Copies of this chain bind each other. A is one copy, B any other.
């Protein structure tokens, strides 16, 4: 850590402790209370360590802007209403979705400990970063975890001409004895919206069957693209759209929120009106179905068989999460990279909020 003045080097890497320190200071300066700042920092650092860069450190400026604008309540009074033995509602009081997510999953696992399974619908919330963070926190405590969230419309319905669903993610995690968790975290579109922007910036064509123009026709030209296709493309997108619909129903309909089509855009320009995002979290105790230990043994066998499968030439078969855990080990050792846009954004935050800048790893 020799350089305390972040420039725009493409090799800029930071230690996760330093990144956490910076995020917590910035969030506090923008009005987040301790619990909120801790939750956002935990979620963003988790995503950045795993290589989920679309949902990692690049989102900090966005959350600071939403706190400053008043859209997000930095000191929420989140209230959990348990309705029955295994279900309840968390009113997130327009606070940060990350705090809502971790809090809701704590309630879900607590109910699962008693009833075998627990589910929490969350309303009056906001963008929560990567859905995988909350499924993962359940798995780290020994539970199966599921997390869902709606978002503003970018994705076409099957045969649709206009975006209707968000990229509505599904995250599923399972605890693996003595190892990192099984972790699936996927949008129900093939690619996220920022992939279109990235391909446009470098002048590349998009993969086939991932996006469409304003008439709903498949397009590979980023500048023409007006919407994403659901997973499955024009032939099998009824599956991706159906999954996106399931996520929507669980996230917004079950929590009494407006569905995603009616959400204010995440990107603004309105940064003062709360959006009313909805989430849904579910936790299950693996030993609440058959004899204790059966699940752990079965999952280990399954993963051993899966990882032993032959791959196509030049490839390797991996379980969901394997790529992420490999990236995490590497970034924990070498630091988390910031591209030039993020270096600039973090330098501006340091200046605006008078925070000691990030230290570049030497």
* A residues adjacent to B (C-beta < 8 A): 83-89, 114-121, 123, 144, 157-162, 164, 170, 172, 174, 182, 184, 186, 190-191, 207, 209-210, 215-217, 231-233, 235-236, 238-243, 245-246, 248-250, 252-257, 259, 261-262, 282, 284-286, 288-291, 294-295, 298-299, 301-302, 305-306, 309-313, 315-320
Contact = CB atoms under 8 A, between A and B. Distances in A.
A290 B245 contact: no
Given A85-B85, A186-B242, A243-B184, A159 B315 contact: yes
19 contacts: A85-B115, A117-B119, A119-B289, A123-B290, A157-B306, A160-B312, A161-B310, A174-B249, A190-B235, A190-B239, A233-B233, A242-B320, A245-B320, A249-B302, A252-B302, A253-B302, A254-B286, A255-B290, A259-B305
Nearest to A215: B312
A216 B253 CA distance: 41
Number of copies: 2
A238 B233 CA distance: 15
A164 B311 CA distance: 11
B160 A311 contact: yes
Contacts of A172: 242, 246
Pick the most buried of A162, A186, A312: most chain B CB atoms within 10 A of its CB.
A312
Given A235-B207, A289-B121, A312-B215, A301 B259 contact: yes
A162 B235 contact: no
Contacts of A246: 172, 184
Contacts of A311: 159-161, 216
Contacts of A119: 116-117, 284, 289
A162 B116 contact: no
Nearest to A207: B235
Contacts of A88: 116, 289
Nearest to A185: B242
A79 to B, nearest CB: 13
A83 B288 contact: yes
A170 B243 CA distance: 9
B86 A117 contact: yes
A2 to B, nearest CB: 38
B312 A216 contact: yes
Contacts of A294: 256
A121 B289 CA distance: 6
A156 to B, nearest CB: 9
A184 B247 CA distance: 12
Contacts of A157: 306, 309, 317
A87 B289 contact: yes
A284 B120 CA distance: 11
Contacts of A250: 144
Given A231-B239, A302-B249, A254 B289 contact: yes
A254 B253 CA distance: 29
Contacts of A184: 242-243, 245-246
Contacts of A232: 190, 231-232
A255 B318 CA distance: 24
